[in-house]
Structures are given as C-alpha cells and as structure tokens.
C-alpha cells in the first residue's frame, strides 16, 4: 500500500499541477491533505477545489482557518476569490486526525493552530510532547506548516514533515511525503515546477496581498514576510 501526504499549496497553481502529474504516475492508494490550501498565492479557488477533488482526507491549517473565518481584513482578495461556500468548507476542516500504517499509529496535524510553529531543527523536548495526547500515545507524528520536508527519529518515535507543494522554504520545489508498507518506507518526493509561470500568475493578480514577498519566496525559498 502507498499513501501520499501533502500540504501547503498556498494558491500556487503550477506547483499543484506538478503534484497532480506526479500523483497520476504514482497512483497512490490514498491521499491526505494536511492543511493550507489557500493564502499567499493567487490561485486559491483552483487549489481549494483541487484538494477537495483529489484528496480523500483533510486536516485544516492556520491559513485555512484564518482566511475561511475572515479573521484578517487584509485577506479580502482571498475571500472574493473563494466565495462563501469554499470559505465555509475551510472553516469546517478538522484540526487533526490519525492513521495507523504499517503497524505504527501516526498523529496527523498541520501544526498551527494546534501547536506553535515547529521546524526540523526544533529540539527534541519541543517535539516529543506531540506524541502524548489524551487519546493515548502515538508512534509517529506527521505535520506540515514550516514548509521544509524531513524525516526524523526521536526516542518517542518517528516525526515527519510533508514539506510544501506551493511555498517551499529552503529548496524552492514542490514537496510531499510518500509512505509505503511491507516494509515501512517514508520518502520525501521533490518535484520541479514552472516557477516562472507561478511568478507570472502572481504579477497578474494586482491585488494579491504581499505579492512581492510571495514572489521572492517561490523564487528563492527564503521566508520574506
């Protein structure tokens, strides 16, 4: 069995289309979305609809709740593009889920707003509490949010980050996780995509909030906000 876990599309249509081509070739048995379909980029309606059509399980992220809940007046561009039905769907997304795969019980969440922002370099004592919940202990945690993919082991178990489809920090490519059983394999998939087309989409969206910061991020992989 093979499953894909992906997140952080952030309104980037060319990156999402590259992910779709990879999924078509991989033909996974299941696809999980771990938050942040929207925000930052210009193609939020496309990315929101793609997640709803292509992924079978969903977890919400901080941008999904922020945009969906109309929390910040500066996000009016996203509200107008998405429309009320999509905004309501974003608000409805669960904050976390769980998955037992290859005998390991995984906790799945975006990161914020359930936790503080966590990164690959976060110390073990900041990460290990994620494995212990009122629902019992987990042997693995998979999250997104920080836009850098990784696979790491702790004394408490495995911890993985999906990376970002549309707004990767570090290496500016599209990333997601591929997991396979018999035996358990956890792989970061890295995809090139047409970043020039993504920049062109942003330049055409004159009212896109913090447009220059978004362009700089997808060109360089350097956080710019």
Domain of residue 17, CATH code? 3.60.21.10
Instruction: Tell me if the pTM is above 0.95.
Output: yes
pLDDT tens digits for range 119-163:
999 999 999 999 999 999 999 999 999 999 999 999 999 999 999
Residue ranges making up the domain that contains 59? 2-220
Judge contact between 202 and 208, C-beta under 8 A. Answer: yes
Q: How confident is the model at residue 195 (pLDDT cuts 50, 70, 90)?
A: very high
Strand 174-180 versus strand 132-133 pairing type? unpaired
Number of Cβ within 10 Å of residue 137's Cβ equals 11
Total domain count, the chain: 1
Instruction: Let me know if residue 225 belongs to a domain.
Output: no
Give 107's contacts (C-beta < 8 A, 6+ positions apart).
96, 98, 130, 131, 133, 138, 140, 141, 142
Instruction: Let me know if residue 208 belongs to a domain.
Output: yes
Average pLDDT for residues 65-85, to the nearest whole number? 98
Instruction: Let me know if residue 127 belongs to a domain.
Output: yes
């Amino acid at each position: 069995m093979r499953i894909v876990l992906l997140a952080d599309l952030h309104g980037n249509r060319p990156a999402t289309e590259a992910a779709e081509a990879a999924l078509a070739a991989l033909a996974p048995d299941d696809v999980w979305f771990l938050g942040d379909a929207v925000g930052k980029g210009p193609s939020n309606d496309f990315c929101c609809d793609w997640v709803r059509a292509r992924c079978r399980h969903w977890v919400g992220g901080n941008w999904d709740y922020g945009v969906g809940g109309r929390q910040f007046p500066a996000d009016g561009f996203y509200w107008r593009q998405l429309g009320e039905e999509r905004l309501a769907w974003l608000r409805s997304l669960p904050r976390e889920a769980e998955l037992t795969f290859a005998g390991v019980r995984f906790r799945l969440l975006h990161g914020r707003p359930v936790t503080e922002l966590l990164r690959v370099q976060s110390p073990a004592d900041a990460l290990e509490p994620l494995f212990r919940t009122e629902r019992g202990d987990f042997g693995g945690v998979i999250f997104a949010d920080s836009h850098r993919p990784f696979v790491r082991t702790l004394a408490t178990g495995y911890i993985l980050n999906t990376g970002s489809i549309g707004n990767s920090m570090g290496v500016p490519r599209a990333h997601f996780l591929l997991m396979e059983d018999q035996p358990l394999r956890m792989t970061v998939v890295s995809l090139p995509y047409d970043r020039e087309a993504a920049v062109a989409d942003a330049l055409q969206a004159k009212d896109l909030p913090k447009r220059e910061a978004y362009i700089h991020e997808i060109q360089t992989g350097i956080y710019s906000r």
